[in-house]
A and B are shown apart, each in its own frame.
Chain A
Amino acid sequence: MATVTHESSDTAPAAGEPASETPPAAHTPDEHASGGDHAHPSDWLYVKVAIALALLTAFEVFTYFETVHGWGDTAIIVMLVAMMLLKFFLVVAFFMHLKFDAPIFWRLFVFGLILAMAVYMVMLTAFRYW
């Protein structure tokens, strides 16, 4: 049984594969394939997402030092949670491709997330955390 390798065409597309000459950047983010396959967004979109994540992180850290100047704790927590959720969504939707992938993956992940949140909200409530 032969092992198929393409090491000889290291940076070039595989022989006899004209489709791969078009880089993923040419695909639109809305392009969906059937089943579990999906189109990848362009590298530039990834860079834009990374810049947004970096800016959000910088602002999060800013609020930490700004606490010293008298912002209320509740306001700080609400802002931090909002930015945390936005960063979470950006990574899951774009870097993990859930925005472009089969919906079953999104449902599975959200199910685990909601289950975890529900279980531990009940746990913290039972222990009178709030």
Chain B
Amino acid sequence: MADTMAAEATTHSPHAEEHHTSTGISNEKLAMWVFLGSECLLFGGLLSVYMFNKGRIGPTDVGPNDVFDIPFTSVSSFVLLMSSLTMVFAVSAIARGNLRGNRIWLAATAALGAIFVAGQVYEFTAFYSEGLGFTTNLFGSAFYSLTGFHGAHVTIGIIMLMTLFVMSLRGNLPQQRAETVEIIGLYWHFVDIVWIVIFTIVYLFPQ
């Protein structure tokens, strides 16, 4: 029976496989898209609160112009953007059965994500030392809430990527499970597009 299962599994490429669901599409992928749609509401709320409160600071308070380091944040934004490229390479690699390539690109994506989070930790530390704490003013509270939630999402993404990496090392992530990598990839790209919006509105909009 095991031989039959193995033979059956190896004769189906992941992209020729039919989804036997009432909708004809993958339930897991559908669930991820519903989740991402709901995440738009979470980040929309945080972004709106930031926009509303960023100017509500006293004349002597620490504000955006006092703390933002655009060249530094631009580099970390670029790093996160490029992690989306390595993520699609990971999805592409497992789709064509290149498990080693998949592991390399997953690790590269996690590493780029870790660099981004490290940059955010550095940025928060620098802002704090310049006098902007979470409760200093409304700008600080809104800024740390928004970017902190995003950083937490990136961190969760890194954990998921490393989980996939370990699963692959143990042989539990064959080509037939390419969709699992694709679904985690959707989450990762979503985190990236949220940062595209945050970077523009929070950092680059004229203050």
Contact = CB atoms under 8 A, between A and B. Distances in A.
Interface string B184-200: 01100110110011011
B20 to A, nearest CB: 10
Contacts of A111: 37
B98 interface: yes
17 contacts: A2-B6, A4-B9, A5-B174, A10-B99, A14-B97, A17-B12, A35-B18, A36-B25, A40-B91, A60-B204, A77-B206, A87-B193, A91-B193, A95-B85, A96-B189, A109-B37, A113-B37
Contacts of A9: 97
Interface of B: 1-2, 5-7, 9-13, 15-19, 23-26, 29-30, 33-34, 36-41, 43-45, 47-48, 51-52, 70-71, 74, 77-78, 81-82, 84-85, 87-89, 91-92, 95-101, 171-172, 174-176, 182, 185-186, 189-190, 192-193, 196-197, 199-201, 203-206
A4 to B, nearest CB: 4
A120 B9 contact: no
A102 B25 contact: yes
Interface string A11-48: 11111110110011000000001111111100100110
A96 B192 CA distance: 11
Nearest to A35: B24
A106 B26 CA distance: 14
B175 A14 contact: yes
A105 B171 contact: no
Contacts of B9: 4
A109 B33 contact: yes
Contacts of A67: 206
Interface residues of A, number: 74
Given A24-B92, A84-B197, A116-B43, 13 more contacts: A1-B2, A6-B10, A7-B99, A11-B98, A11-B101, A35-B24, A40-B15, A40-B91, A88-B196, A95-B185, A96-B189, A108-B37, A109-B40
A35 B96 contact: no
Given A36-B25, A120-B44, A96 B186 contact: yes
A13 B97 contact: yes
B11 A16 contact: yes
A101 to B, nearest CB: 8
A4 B176 contact: yes
Contacts of A19: 13, 16
A88 B43 CA distance: 15
A20 B171 contact: no
B10 A15 contact: yes
A120 B88 CA distance: 32
A88 B194 CA distance: 9
A20 B34 CA distance: 31
B24 to A, nearest CB: 4
Nearest to B196: A87
Q: Which 6 A-B pairs have the closest CB atoms?
A: A112-B37, A36-B25, A2-B2, A116-B44, A35-B24, A7-B171
Contact of A108 (B33, B82, B199, B201): B33
